[in-house]
Amino acid sequence: GIQVEQSPPDLILQEGANSTLRCNFSDSVNNLQWFHQNPWGQLINLFYIPSGTKQNGRLSATTVATERYSLLYISSSQTTDSGVYFCAVQYSGNTPLVFGKGTRLSVIA
Amino acid sequence: GAGVSQSPSNKVTEKGKDVELRCDPISGHTALYWYRQSLGQGLEFLIYFQGNSAPDKSGLPSDRFSAERTGGSVSTLTIQRTQQEDSAVYLCASSLAGSSYNEQFFGPGTRLTVL
């Protein structure tokens, strides 16, 4: 089946710093989503981005489908950005999402 | 509108007992998914329902696990004769089906602890 790899696995930032999280996938996909899992375990939708670039406040994401990767950019990080960021892909139709192992981000004041 | 809801939020049970977990999807969403998040195992798919089609059960780890969806809305995941390895957070998600836009939205999860 399709493989999803995220890097780095762990990241520690000083408040105000910028970061880039990467997601590589092994096959063509028709859906890619980025999530933030907060300390209470809730998965928060960040982006639905099978291709192209989107921005939402301090966060932006780019997916290059032909090269099978996606990037999540976090600018001017805040302590509330801490948590685990997951990339997940769908290879066709409404099939289940396949998740990467996540990047654990800690933002220190 | 309301998001995906799940109940209970926490469930502690003894090994060998049966448990039922409930999911209410977003109104109008015809696709419903169950996932499990275990320590060291990441997020894994269990089962999904799409409209009136037969469910895809390919992710269920054993025949102790089953799920149903009544009236195309609420779903119940049942685990029979629970084992300690069933301890995990069980997450439900829903999405619109039959369109090219199929973003999935997740509920808050049910944390299951099997003693």
Distance from CA of A12 to the nearest CA of B (A): 21
pLDDT 10s digits, B55-94: 999 999 999 999 999 887 999 999 999 999 999 999 999 9
Is residue B63 domain-resident?
yes
- Which residues on A lie below 8 Å from B33 (Cβ)? 96-97
Residue B17 lies in a domain: yes
- Number of A to B CB contacts under 8 A, please give it: 54
Tell me the pLDDT of chain A averaged across its residues. Answer: 95
Structure tokens belonging to residue A101: 């192992």
Predicted confidence band of residue A59 (pLDDT cuts 50, 70, 90)? very high
For testing contact with chain A, the best of B103, B110, B111, B113 (most A CBs within 10 A): B103
Q: For position A54, what pLDDT does the model report?
A: 98
| Residue A33 touches partner B, C-beta closer than 8 Å | yes
DSSP letter for each residue of A83-99? EEEEEEEE-STTPPPEE
Does residue B115 lie in a domain region? no
Q: What's the CA gap between B56 and A61, in Å, rounded? A: 31
* H helix or E strand, kind and range, residue A76: none
Q: Which of B2, B90, B101 is nearest to B47 (CA)?
A: B90
> Residue B43 maps to which CATH number?
2.60.40.10
Is B43 in contact with A48 (Cβ distance < 8 A)?
no
Question: How far A109 CA lies from chain B's nearest CA (Å)?
Answer: 28
Q: Give the number of domains in chain A.
A: 1
Q: Could you check whether the bond before residue A96 is cis, i.e. omega within 30 degrees of 0? A: no
CA-based nearest distance B93→chain A, Å:
10
Domain, as residue range, for A86 = 4-108
CA distance linking residue A76 with residue B64, whole number of Å: 47
Q: Give chain A's end-to-end CA distance (angstroms, integer).
A: 41
Task: Give percent of chain B above pLDDT 70.
Answer: 97
Q: Is residue B111 part of a domain?
A: no
**Mean predicted confidence (pLDDT) in B93-99:** 82
In a domain, B49, yes or no: yes
Q: Residue B11: exposed, middle, or buried by beta-carbon count in 10 A (0-12, 13-18, 19+)?
A: middle
Inform me whether the pLDDT recorded for A17 exceeds 80: yes
A4: contact with B, CB 8 A cutoff:
no
Are B42 and A102 an interchain contact pair (Cβ–Cβ within 8 Å)? yes
- CB-based contacts of B72, cutoff 8 Å, min separation 6: B30, B51, B52
Phi-psi region of B58 (alpha: psi -120 to 50; beta: other; left: phi over 0): alpha
Of A23-37, B2-16, B34-48, the one with minimum mean pLDDT is B34-48
**Which residue in chain B has the smallest CA separation from A95?**
B48
B97 inside domain:
yes
CATH number reported for the structural domain that contains residue A81 in this entry: 2.60.40.10
Which residue, chain included where needed, has tokens 């069933």?
B86
Q: Select from B43, B100, B102 the Cβ nearest to the Cβ of A99.
A: B43
pLDDT for residue B98 is more than 70: no
Residue A28 region by backbone torsions, left for phi larger than 0, else alpha for psi between -120 and 50, else beta: beta
Mean pLDDT, range B26-33, rounded to an integer:
92
Q: How confident is the model at residue B99 (pLDDT cuts 50, 70, 90)?
A: low
pLDDT score for B2: 85
List the domain range (segments joined by +) for residue B10. Answer: 5-102
Q: Is A80 helix (H, G, I), strand (E, B) or coil?
A: helix
Number of CB atoms found within 10 A of residue B66's CB? 14
In this predicted structure, what is the pLDDT of residue B92? 97
